[in-house]
Chain A
Amino acid sequence: MNRTTGLNTQPNLADPDGFYAALMAAHEGLTKAQSDALNARLVLILANHIGDEEVLKQALAAARKSARA
């Protein structure tokens, strides 16, 4: 996929385990409702950072497509 115009679905995290651990740590001790709220804030923060409408559309589609049946 073209990185300049589309969603990057290739590995892009330098330290995947480290990021995953940080994500879990951010949720630690939170209730389900608090975790849901944190996730929502995170999505909005990241979406704004990305900014590119086309990338966001592709990300939404990719997220929806990977759902379990």
Chain B
Amino acid sequence: MSKIFETPLYPYQRSPDQDAPRYVRHPVIVVGAGPIGLAAAIDLAQQDVPVVVLDDNDKVSFGSRAICFAKRPLEILDRLGCGDAMVEKGVTWHTGKVFTDTRETYRFDLLPEGGHKMPAFINLQQYHLEEFLVRRVRELESRGRPIEIRGRNRVSAISNNGNFVRLEVDTPEGPYNVEADWLIACDGAGSPIRQMLGLDFVGKVFEDNFLIADVIMRADFPSERWFWFDPPFNRGQSALLHKQPDNVWRIDFQLGRDIDREEELKPENIDRRLRAMLGEDVEYELEWSSIYTFQCRRMEKFRHGRVLFAGDAAHQVSPFGARGANSGFQDTDNLCWKLKLVLDGTAPETLLDSYSDERTYGADENILNSTRSTEFITPKSEISRIFRDAVLDLAVEHDFARPLVNSGRLSVPCTYDGSVLNGPDDPALPRRTRPGAPAVDAPLDGGWLLDRLGDRFQLLLIGADGPERLNESGLEIEVLRVNPEKNPELRARYLGDALAAVYLLRPDQHVAARWSAWDEAATRAAIRRALGME
């Protein structure tokens, strides 16, 4: 297996905190150096919020794990300085095929709309992503940004006090205590922080087992997502084939309910399955294998006083639809600007409740979609299987049945409809860029709109009059002027048939409010609302 798993990327080093006479208090501690924890830390450090990441390990995670990254998370990672590396290394794909037995029953094309910097989807091993993120951390460190990863620092106890958090941390040289004004728990589905605090994590448990076999092979399958229902090589179950970089292929076999894990994981049994699928004489190397089951569940609230939960620690979905890691990046994207403004004293602490509100809304959307896909892929009753098979049989001949085929509804960005932070909307403007939606990318003056957005509140004046600058509630609002005549895609996405518009954008690039003309009093009120002050 690749060396990347073996090399400690953030080896243990003694911290001055371990020798301090009193507990050292940090503004923010992130627990967990997985993709979500690292994204949180990078986001904060880019905004000059000092952050310390604690992780019980010192390497990237073992095995490819999350491999499928959607456009919105790629845009978030691009804002964090990792987008180009991901797209360059990743496999871009946009066609999915569904087979029943040996017949192709359905195919979809993600039909990526032109005029976006980021592709609709890429496949990339999680370990590559983690390596890019760690590299970005080092780059920020070398530029003097306040960011630090402490490897082999395992949190063994936590007390969540009124206005700070105290941790006991185990290291190879013994335990020490450290404190934080705020703690972000990104410590995964089994979150020790969540468990130590005795917090709920309820939802649906699914009993089907799945075998992942990531194999290295030279194969001329195209860069497409292939999904089988009831294939000859895995009767009565499903299977998935997906391409990753470096000739690695993700193969996912549904195994069913009562299985013998140990038996299934034996190399000769995995080999038997792979040869049945790929052909007797296939040459391959097994990179990683794992058997998993899954749950669809979330915490009731993602904020508990000074402890904030993000990623799998806060919510879990089935893997169908690539809504796990993808939604975690939307968590930290939502959280970090709010935390910064609270730490700066610009916004009230209650702004962080909107993190919980907006992201539990997002989690519910993901859980709903993922639960429905799971029901279709792993029918739980005889009648459920009868209808599932009826859909598949009809889909061969009839167009109408194809949208009913559910092999995973792929992750789409979450729009925070109904959020308390949303200001006024003008319904004459296009629906896709309504308040709560993430800004839709578009070419802008030879570059990209999203490259100009984020990390601060901004006013986008599209063919509209407005001020040169604006100060509100201690914030300087950047004003961006756009000529709609010169940027037709942007015009279509933000104006539609209207002649002009004023958009207020949050630091996470989501639309906070919009009008068809400049209105100073309304804009100021919308900014205060987006800061949680109204």
Contacts and interface: CB of A to CB of B under 8 A. Distances in A.
Grouping DSSP codes into helix (H, G, I), strand (E, B) and loop, the A interface class, with mixed when no group exceeds half, is helix
B516 to A, nearest CB: 33
Interface string A37-65: 10011011100100000000000000000
A37 B386 contact: yes
A37 B386 CA distance: 6
Interface residues of B toward A: which range?
A: 10 to 19
Contacts of A43: 387, 390
B393 interface: yes
A40 B401 contact: no
B412 interface: no
A52 B390 CA distance: 21
Nearest to B403: A48
Interface in B188-242: none
B390 A37 contact: yes
A36 to B, nearest CB: 5
Contacts of B383: 36
A41 B390 CA distance: 5
B56 interface: no
Contacts of A44: 387, 390-391, 394, 401, 404
Interface in A1-58: 36-37, 40-41, 43-45, 48
B404 A40 contact: no
Given A44-B387, A44-B401, A48-B400, A37 B394 contact: no
B389 interface: yes
A46 to B, nearest CB: 11
Contacts of B393: 37, 41
A40 B400 contact: no
B340 to A, nearest CB: 44
Contacts of A40: 386-387, 389-390
Nearest to B400: A48
Interface in B140-195: none
26 contacts: A36-B383, A36-B386, A37-B386, A37-B389, A37-B390, A37-B393, A40-B386, A40-B387, A40-B389, A40-B390, A41-B390, A41-B393, A41-B394, A43-B387, A43-B390, A44-B387, A44-B390, A44-B391, A44-B394, A44-B401, A44-B404, A45-B394, A45-B398, A45-B400, A48-B400, A48-B401
Interface of A: 36-37, 40-41, 43-45, 48
The 10 tightest CB contacts between A and B, nearest first, are A40-B390, A48-B400, A41-B390, A40-B386, A40-B387, A36-B386, A41-B394, A44-B390, A37-B390, A44-B394
